[in-house]
Amino acid sequence: MSEHCLFCKIAKGEIPSQKAYEDEDIFVFHDIDPAAPVHLLLIPKRHIVSMQDIGANDAAWLGRMMTLIPGLALDNGCRPGPEGGFRLLANSGIDGGQEVAHLHFHIIGGPRPWHKR
Ligand code: 5GP
Ligand code: ZN
C-alpha cells in the first residue's frame, strides 16, 4: 500500500468504484471515464508502479490475472468470437503514457464503432 495512491485506495474500498471482480491478489473495476462501451481496469492489490517493476516473483498472480481476462471481458459486455473481442493495454511510465502510477491493465471493448483513444 502506498499511502497516497489512488488505486491502492480503490483496491481497499477507501475510494468507491464499480467493482467487477476481486480476489486475494487482484481487483477489477470499471474505468471512471470509459473509452468504449466496456472499459475495465485490472490491478494488483499490492502497490506496483508499472510493468517496468515486474519481476520473476510476480509470475503467479500476473499469469492468473491474464487467464481471468477473457471471462471478465465477456461478463462485462464484450462480444465473443472473431467479430467481438477487446483491446488489452498497459501504459507504463511517462513515455508509455501512464497517468496513474499503480500498475493497471485496461480491457477496452464492446460493439464498435468507438474510437475515443
Ligand atoms: P492510464 O492513463 O494511467 O493508463 O489510465 C488511468 C485510467 O484510470 C484512466 O483511464 C482513467 O479514466 C482512470 N481513472 C482515473 N481516476 C479514476 C478513479 O478515481 N476511478 C476510476 N474508476 N478510474 C479512474
Ligand atoms: Zn498503489
C-alpha–C-alpha distance, residues 50 and 53, integer Å: 6
Q: Identify the CA nearest to 101 among candidates 51, 26, 30.
A: 51
Q: Which of 18, 29, 31 to mutate to test the pocket of ligand 1 (most atoms within 8 A of CB)?
A: 31
Is residue 104 part of the annotated active site? The answer reads: yes
Mean pLDDT along residues 13-30: 98
Strands (E) across the chain are located at 19-22, 26-30, 38-44, 86-89, 105-109
Is the predicted pLDDT of residue 1 greater than 80, yes or no?
no
Could you state, in order of their start, the residue ranges of all structural domains in the chain? 6-109
Helix or strand run (H / E) with residue 18: none
Question: If you count them, how many residues does the chain have?
Answer: 117
- The mean of the pLDDT values for the chain is 95
Quick check: CB of 7 below 6 Å from ligand 1?
no
Q: Is the pLDDT of residue 76 over 80?
A: yes
List, for residues 84-116, the tens digit of each pLDDT value: 999 999 999 999 999 999 999 999 999 988 766
Residue 21, beta-bridge partner list? 28
CATH of domain 6-109: 3.30.428.10
**pLDDT for position 117:** 53
> What residue has cell string 468504484?
17
Residue whose C-alpha is closest to residue 109's, from 21, 37, 28: 37
* Residue 113, pLDDT score: 84
Q: Is the pLDDT of residue 69 over 90?
A: yes
29 lines ligand 1 (CB under 6 A): yes
Percent residues over pLDDT 70 in the chain: 97
Q: Half-sphere exposure (CA, 13 Å, Cβ side) for 75?
A: 12
Q: What is the model's pLDDT at position 116?
A: 62
- Tell me what the mean pLDDT of segment 47-64 comes to: 98
Nearest bound ligand to the CA of residue 7: 2
